């Protein structure tokens, strides 16, 4: 059964919101409104954002528009400035115009623009690559907490024509389909017909994510017969018109197409639902990022990064079809494959829509975790759940010895507990379930990352 661990003494948490977690330091900044930001000299943009089409098509402009409105500017408007390029402009009380430029040509172009001094922020629908970190190293550590900001959660949707009867595919089957190894729908249980492939272009973070989670994870490469698109909307609409089509896009761009449920390894079939994407359990879930220079002197860049994390910014995230990082309690149905104690937990408690995840062999949280911890603590305070209402359940990937997997999963749960206790939370239980209930395939790094998690349950 789930066994509660002894409570540790409560420490005073300094209100500067600096905390230490097993050698990992996070800094939590309160959600505060910025003072009036400086106006530009001449006709220069106050901010330039390059990168992901997934972010830049609608979410990026919407967040910028929200920031300008928060600043009390008037006549805020978004206008096209070229293919996949937009300008958000406004006017201050003195009648002076300001503008923010957004170019959405793919995640990799954002990092190139920062390197070349053509942008202050890079929008990316996948984590920065090691090669990009190295290229930008003279400008600071782009993997640091000051540079890397998760602004939303998204799920790659695998889309078909609405009349295609298939409802579920596995990631291995997807790799076989998109590599051209499987060419007819009858080979994967569908009705006979030649499969037509639709994919994002090479600059796209969406393609990078699909390549990592599906193709490379299964030793495959994208077929040269795939039709490539810079625009998610155009790709989705093309699939929706093709009875034999299949493609991959960000969740907000499903439009008239049909989204499949996905399995990975031994995981259950998961549709791209709000809850499964919010917890990052959905096999093709991903984080959306804004990257800025860690020592940026641009106040507009700093303000937008903070605004995007605020409750107002996260409301805009949800309004644009992505998954906000707002914490909610969700009822989970108990199923036969769950351990008995976990079934009891599912029947009696609710799970919060956030998971804490960890690096391999470690109980140290990543850059997203500091903001997630703040959100969870705010939820517990607002709903009166500080005293023996919280259960933390840790999970991990398989190890040579099952006892090691269980120990690491418990250590991860204890790491989260320690920070909650410092803020006055008295735990009901803390447990580690080792490598049970995987949500992703343990055969690749991205799957093991998803399985290394701590769930938060509340009574």
Domain limits, the chain: 18-22+327-458, 47-151+288-319, 154-278
The pLDDT of residue 12 is 28
CB of 273 within 8 A of CB of 145? Answer: no
pLDDT tops 60 at residue 26: no
Strands 350-357 and 329-330: antiparallel
pLDDT tops 70 at residue 121: yes
Beta strands (DSSP E) in 331-383 are 350-357
pLDDT tops 70 at residue 401: yes
**Two structure tokens written together for 441:** 């395939």
Tokens 């298939």 -> residue: 166
Strands 97-103 and 47-51: parallel
> What residues contact residue 305 under an 8 Å CB cut-off, 6+ apart?
121, 149, 290, 292
Which range is least confidently modeled, 78-87, 149-158, 262-271, 326-335?
262-271
Cα–Cα distance measured from residue 453 to residue 437, given in angstroms and rounded to the nearest whole number:
11
pLDDT in tens, 143-202: 998 999 999 999 999 999 999 999 999 999 999 999 999 999 999 999 999 999 999 999
Average pLDDT on 118-136 reads 97
pLDDT tops 50 at residue 60: yes
Average pLDDT on 388-409 reads 87
Q: How many residues does the chain have?
A: 459
With a pLDDT cut of 90, the percent of the chain lying above it is 74
The pLDDT of residue 439 is 84
pLDDT tops 60 at residue 25: no
**Two structure tokens written together for 450:** 């998803």
**Helices 59-70 and 299-309 sit at what angle, rounded to 10 degrees?**
110
Under the banding of pLDDT at 50, 70 and 90, the label for residue 365 is confident
Under the banding of pLDDT at 50, 70 and 90, the label for residue 361 is low
Cα–Cα distance measured from residue 285 to residue 371, given in angstroms and rounded to the nearest whole number:
19
Pick the CATH number of 47-151+288-319 from 1.10.620.20, 3.40.190.10, 3.90.660.10, 3.40.50.80: 3.40.190.10
Assign domain 154-278 to its CATH superfamily: Periplasmic binding protein-like II (3.40.190.10)
Under the banding of pLDDT at 50, 70 and 90, the label for residue 11 is very low
With a pLDDT cut of 70, the percent of the chain lying above it is 91
pLDDT in tens, 63-84: 999 999 999 999 999 999 999 9
The pLDDT of residue 39 is 82
Average pLDDT on 240-247 reads 98
Q: Which residue has the higher pLDDT, 252 or 364?
A: 252
Reported pTM: 0.80
Pick the CATH number of 18-22+327-458 from 3.30.1600.10, 3.20.20.140, 3.30.1330.60, 3.40.50.300: 3.30.1330.60
Q: Which residue has the higher pLDDT, 422 or 367?
A: 422
pLDDT in tens, 276-317: 999 999 999 999 999 999 999 999 999 999 999 999 999 999
Q: Mean pLDDT across the chain, nearest whole number?
A: 89
Under the banding of pLDDT at 50, 70 and 90, the label for residue 49 is very high
Fold equal for 47-151+288-319 and 154-278: yes
pLDDT tops 80 at residue 4: no
């Amino acid at each position: 059964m789930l066994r509660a661990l002894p409570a540790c003494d409560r420490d005073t948490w300094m209100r500067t919101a600096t905390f230490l977690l097993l050698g990992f330091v996070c800094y939590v900044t309160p959600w505060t409104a910025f003072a009036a930001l400086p106006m530009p000299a001449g006709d220069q943009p106050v901010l330039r954002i390059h990168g992901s089409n997934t972010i830049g098509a609608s979410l990026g402009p919407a967040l910028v528009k929200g920031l300008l409105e928060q600043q009390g500017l008037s006549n805020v408007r978004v206008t096209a400035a070229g293919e996949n390029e937009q300008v958000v402009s406004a006017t201050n009380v003195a009648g002076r115009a300001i503008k923010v430029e957004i170019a959405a040509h793919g995640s990799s172009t954002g990092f190139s623009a920062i390197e070349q001094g053509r942008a202050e922020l890079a929008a990316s629908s996948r984590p920065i690559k090691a090669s990009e970190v190295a290229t930008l190293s003279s400008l600071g550590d782009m993997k640091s907490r000051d540079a890397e900001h998760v602004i939303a959660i998204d799920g790659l949707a695998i889309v078909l024509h609405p009349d295609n009867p298939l409802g579920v595919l596995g990631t291995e089957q997807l790799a076989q389909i998109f590599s051209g190894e499987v060419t007819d729908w009858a080979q994967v249980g569908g009705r006979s017909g030649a499969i037509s492939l639709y994919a994002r272009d090479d600059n796209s973070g969406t393609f990078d994510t699909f390549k990592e989670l599906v193709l490379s994870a299964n030793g495959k490469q994208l077929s040269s017969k795939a039709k490539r698109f810079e625009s998610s909307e155009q790709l989705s609409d093309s699939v929706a018109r093709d009875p034999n089509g299949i493609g991959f896009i960000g969740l907000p761009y499903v439009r008239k197409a049909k989204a499949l449920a996905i399995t990975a390894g031994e995981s259950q079939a998961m549709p791209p639902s709000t809850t499964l994407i919010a917890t990052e359990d959905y096999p093709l879930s991903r984080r959306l990022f804004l990257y800025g220079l860690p020592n940026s002197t641009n106040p507009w860049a700093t303000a937008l990064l903070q605004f995007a994390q605020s409750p107002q910014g996260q409301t805009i995230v949800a309004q644009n079809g992505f998954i906000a990082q707002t914490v909610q309690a969700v009822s989970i149905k108990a199923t036969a494959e769950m351990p008995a104690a976990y079934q009891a937990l599912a029947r009696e408690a609710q799970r919060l829509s956030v998971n804490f995840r960890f690096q391999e062999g470690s109980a140290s949280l990543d850059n997203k975790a500091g903001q997630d911890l703040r959100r969870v603590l705010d939820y517990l305070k607002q709903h009166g759940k500080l005293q023996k209402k919280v259960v933390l359940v840790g999970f991990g990937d398989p190890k040579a010895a099952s006892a090691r997997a269980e120990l690491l999963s418990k250590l991860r749960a204890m790491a989260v507990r320690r920070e909650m206790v410092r803020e006055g939370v008295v735990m009901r239980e803390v447990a580690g379930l080792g490598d049970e209930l995987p949500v992703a395939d343990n055969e690749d790094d991205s799957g093991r990352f998803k399985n290394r998690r701590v769930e938060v349950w509340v009574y």
